[in-house]
Structure formats: structure tokens, C-alpha cells
Amino acid sequence: MSVKPNILYIMTDQWNAECFSGLNHPDVKTPNIDQLIEKGVCFRNCFAAEPICQPSRVSYLTGQYVHTHRVMRNHEASTPQSVNTPLPGYLKEKAGYRTGAFGKLHLGVFEKDAGFDSIAHCCDNPFGKPAYYEYLEEKGLLDIYMEKEKKMSQETTQRFAAGKSGLKAADCNETWTADQTIDFISESSDPFFVWCSFERPHAPHTPPEDAPVKYDPEKLTIPPYDPKWFDSKAMHARAGCENLWKAWVLGEDALREGLAGYYGLMSLIDQQVGRIIDHLEQTGKLDNTIIVFCADHGDFGGYHGMLGKNSSTYDSIMRVPYVWYWKGHTDRNMHFDLCETIDMYPTLCDLAGLETPPSVQGKSHVSALTDLPYYPGKDYVFFERLLAKGVRSRTHKLSVIPNGRNNYWELYDILEDPDELKNRYGDPQLAHVQTRLMEELVAWSIKTEQPCHVSNSSEEVTEDLRWHSHFLDNK
């Protein structure tokens, strides 16, 4: 490929995969992202490596599962403990890409090794004050922002962190992040890779008064919920206010207010996505720019009567929006088969005409974007967190959660029970499914673990499973 495509990688934080008007959500309005869905390729069953921000973001940029790179928590030093080749640096080294990242990176100190030429934070800067704070300070708005959005009262935080921003839309971090991205595109010759990473709709759920869409809490559609659904489940609570964000704890009125703020932020982000795409078109760069829209992980988004996330493995928090668009190159299609967020890295390598580094564990889905009318997808996807590991097929999901000296297992028939209400683990009728999924989960854990060294013994029989043997051979 003589001319390398530009790459616009748009990430949001904690966006439920159903929340688009283009996917027939009853309330949310997202006209600009809907155009990407309508004219591009929308993967309806893409799963995050982890439903926590920092580990998931490292997985996107390394193409590795979490237990391989071992960044397991938020707000850690976060240097991966694996052999890895960060995507931005690889594109820069092998194909001369100019690279930039703007908004919420949440990579910790790993960002300095990721290969970015230009960085501007709206939050979570591990090396100093975020550039967005400096912007607000210059305009005399930082104290207002901190009071309304970063130092909420305990009562407000516990009620879904819902309210109104003290800023106008023009000064919200969504607009600032889009501005930084547009400036970078304007200053860049082809090819460029830009990561536009919006901090929200993650809490605080505080859209500005002049947000593009105002949602009336009383008119929102609330999916069915019942606290009794959780009586037989393992304790999935996690520390912090999100453990309270349930309709049966705070009341349905509070949930409606939280969702109104959550949806309002989605529409604000959608507006900024439209601005960036318009800029690409006006500057003549849209035709040669691959756009990926995604999220680091999901959110209950009102399903099961909750907002936010917890330590479970529900599809609502594991599944992410994942939309690809490249004008004139991507087929208009919607795929319901399985893929993983670590598959983005090798797919971009294919589209840029580059070999995928051997450290990458994802699999390219480039055929889903271009050649084939049907993309078979993966037979299984895998996910994990400190307190869980799981595997999902097209029809069933198995997960294991430590519970003292015992392990708590869950098995769901996704086709018959999409809300994951009836645990079928130990059900004789699904014994064959349970056994197969357990075998796949164990095999995955072994194959994708990166040990400290590999024996040089002639008795080594798993060499074909050692993806990192390339590095040992070339030391």
C-alpha cells in the first residue's frame, strides 16, 4: 500500500453498547455516530479484555490480554510486565505516522513509552497538571469545574453523581478534547494516528445546560429489573459509590435522573464526533482516514436497574461499542459474531500494510471490513478482572469468581436467557457445554500467559503455543 491511511481512534469511557439511536435505543440521540454505524461496519458483539479503564486501555494499545501485560488495576504505575510493542510507536517506527493522544489517556506512566509525539490530558496526568485544567484556569473556570464535577457532595455522588455542569458546552472537556484532536489533524501531514479519548459518559453525569439534547427523566424508558434476580448470585459489589447505584436502593426517580445525565453526555460526545468528522471532510482528509469508535468497557446503562459497573461479568459491562468506517473501503454491514478489543491492533496493521508484531494476541478482522459478505468471527472470546475470569461463545457464557476457599461458577444460556438471570452451572442438560467452556478457559489461560522464560529443552512440546518464542530466538 503506497499511501498509508490516517487513523482516527475515538474512545469513550463506559458507554453501553446499546445506547445509539441508530441501533433503535428508545431514548438516546446520536445522529453523528449513527452515520458511522449506517455507512460503516458495526460489531455488535465485541468484548473488552477487562471492564476496568486502565487495564482495558493497555490491552487496546498492546493487543494483549490483561494477564499477559499484567496491568490489573486503575491508578497503578502501569508499565506492562510483558514483551510488547505499543501500537502508536509501532506505526511511527514502521510507517512514519505522526501520533497524538488527547483527552483521558489513563495509561499511567506507560504513556511515555507508548510512542506518542503529542499528548494533552483532560484528566489523570501522571506527570503533572492536566492541560485541560490549565485551559480552565486561564479562563477563570477551574474552581467552578472542580466544585461542580470533581468535588461533589457525598449525597450527590451517591445518587448516581447526577447534576448539571457549571460550564457551558464550549468549555466542557468533551469540546476541549475534540478541539485538541482537530488542531492535531490540521497540523499533521499524512499519515497520522490520533487517539481522541473522551472522559465520559463515565460519571460525573453532569451535562451542561446548553447540551445538544436535554433528556426529561420522567419520559425515559426503564428496562425491567428486580432485586430478587441477584439473590442467588455471588457478591458482585465493588468498592465505591457505584455499589449504591441501583434503582431498588436509591429509587427509580434517582435512576431516571442519572440516566438523563448519562444520555446527555452521550449526545454531547456525539456532537463533538460530528465536528471532527466535518473537519476531516472540509480538509479533504476524510477519504483516507480510518475511523474507529469504541469504549474502554461498558456500563449497565439502566439494564438490571443499575447505572455504572460492578465486579460481575454481565454482557452490559463487558460488551463495548465497536464501529469501523473508512469511506469507500468498508462495506455497510452489521456483524453479530464475536470479536475482542485486542483485535483492533492487528486489523489496523493489515489496513496499513504492516506485519503484526508477534507479541500481539488479537486476531485481525480485516475481512469483515472489506472482502467477505459474512464474517465468521471468533468461536470464543475471553475476559477477566482481578476477581473473575470468563469465556463466552455465541450461545453460552462461563465465568469463575473466587469466593473464599471456593470458586463460584456461573454458566448462562445467552440465547434463552440474555439477561443472565438463571445460573445453569451444574445443570446436567448443559454438562457438555460446561465441560467444553472450562476446557477452553483453561487452555486460553495457559496459552496466553507469558512466563519469565521458556525452557530450551528438546522435550518442549508447546513451542507452537509460545507466541513470544520469536523474541527468544532473536536475542
Query: Which region holds residue 429: left if phi is over 0, alpha if psi is between -120 and 50, else beta?
Result: alpha
Q: 6-381: which CATH topology?
A: Alkaline Phosphatase, subunit A (3.40.720)
Cell representation of residue 425:
452451572
Please give the pLDDT value at position 63: 97
* Fold match, 6-381 / 383-473: no
Give the span between the Cα atoms of 55 and 70, in whole angstroms: 8
Give the span between the Cα atoms of 193 and 16, in whole angstroms: 25
Give the span between the Cα atoms of 297 and 194, in whole angstroms: 20
Query: Which region holds residue 75: left if phi is over 0, alpha if psi is between -120 and 50, else beta?
Result: left
The 10s digit of each residue's pLDDT in 417-429 is 999 999 999 999 9
Please give the pLDDT value at position 475: 33
Give the span between the Cα atoms of 162 and 203, in whole angstroms: 8
Domain ranges of the chain: 6-381, 383-473
Q: Which CATH number fits domain 383-473: 1.20.140.10, 3.30.1120.10, 3.40.50.720, 3.30.360.10?
A: 3.30.1120.10
Give the span between the Cα atoms of 200 and 19, in whole angstroms: 14
Dump the DSSP string for 144-180. HHIIIIIS--HHHHHTTTB---SS-GGGSHHHHHHHH
Q: What is the mean pLDDT of each run of 10 residues along the chain (475 residues)?
A: 88 98 98 96 96 95 94 78 92 98 95 96 94 98 94 91 96 98 96 98 97 98 91 66 86 97 98 98 97 97 93 92 95 88 98 95 92 79 90 97 82 96 96 98 89 40 43 39
β-pair type (289-295, 322-325): antiparallel
Q: How many residues does the chain have?
A: 475
Please give the pLDDT value at position 352: 97
Cell representation of residue 81:
510486565
Please give the pLDDT value at position 238: 58
Dump the DSSP string for 218-241. GG-------GGGGTTS-----SSG
Give the span between the Cα atoms of 334 and 24, in whole angstroms: 14
CB atoms near residue 418 (< 10 Å) = 10
Please give the pLDDT value at position 73: 83
CB atoms near residue 246 (< 10 Å) = 22
Please give the pLDDT value at position 81: 82
The single residue listed with the C-alpha cell 453523581 is: 161
